[in-house]
Chain A
Amino acid sequence: MSTLQNIYVIEQDKEATGLKYFFVSKGDADVIKAIEYSYVQQLDSKAVYNLAFGDYYVQTNDIIDNVNTNNGDPFKVLHTILSTIPLFFDNYKGAMLMVQGSDGRPEFVAECRQACTKRCIGECKNYNRRINIYRGYVNKYYDELATDYQFIGGNKNEEGLTRLEPYKRYKDYDSVLLFRKNT
């Protein structure tokens, strides 16, 4: 992740509660993107931080994390987000990072069906789409990434219990947690 090419210039802002990054996506339009690493809780003696990402609108001062901007530069945006992960671990040595998609919430499917044009029959095709993008990256570069990072896969069941296990490549997860080895 530290060697990713073709990324946007980022602005870092470190605060007591976490870390923020900003960059301008220069696709079909200029869109300000915000990345936030926020402290969640302790887990197995590690401080867990959550990674969140969305668009910032200067005119309205709003942050939106549930829209697909379709700005024509998805890989450059993804690579820019991923490029901040090693920076996060440089700032919070020994921490654990959790990644979930905003489209993985239980209420997402009902919300999506109200405005969706895909007319999905059965399963909602947008459900967990974002975490699947991150998982796809982890699966593709797993051998390389696993030299520096330990990955954990998470799934929440209907009883509200979240099962965390050592990450199994290509298995479906609704969250991915990771921490740096040897810190």
Chain B
Amino acid sequence: MKKAKEIKEEGLVKVPASGLLSLVASKLKGKVLFPKKLDDARKYLQKTEVTR
């Protein structure tokens, strides 16, 4: 009987981009991704003068 070809995956699996992005979204749920930028934005708008 012919032996099935052995496939070495070395711990890697292929995931479609859509599945990967759903996975990333669920992993990062509830997390502020850019806290430093949010802090900078708050400081930036702390003292404003609006010219119309």
A interface vs B, CB < 8 Å? Answer: 9-11, 13, 15, 17, 20, 22-24, 32, 34, 36, 38, 40-41, 43-44, 48, 50, 52, 54, 56, 58, 61, 63, 65, 98, 100, 102, 105, 154, 156, 160-166, 175
Q: Would you mind naming 5 contact pairs between A and B with Cβ atoms under 8 Å apart?
A: A52-B37, A160-B46, A162-B47, A163-B51, A165-B51
A34-B33 contact, Cβ under 8 Å, with A98-B45, A100-B44: yes
Q: How far is the CB of A82 from chain B (nearest CB, A)?
A: 18
Q: A-side binding surface: helix, strand, loop or mixed?
A: strand
Contact B34 A63 (CB under 8 A): yes
Contact of B51 (CB < 8 Å), options: A13, A41, A164: A164
Q: How far is the CB of A121 from chain B (nearest CB, A)?
A: 28
Residues from chain A with Cβ under 8 Å of B41 in the complex: 38, 40, 48, 50, 98, 100
Residues from chain A with Cβ under 8 Å of B40 in the complex: 100, 105
Contact B45 A41 (CB under 8 A): yes
Q: How far is the CB of B34 from chain A (nearest CB, A)?
A: 4
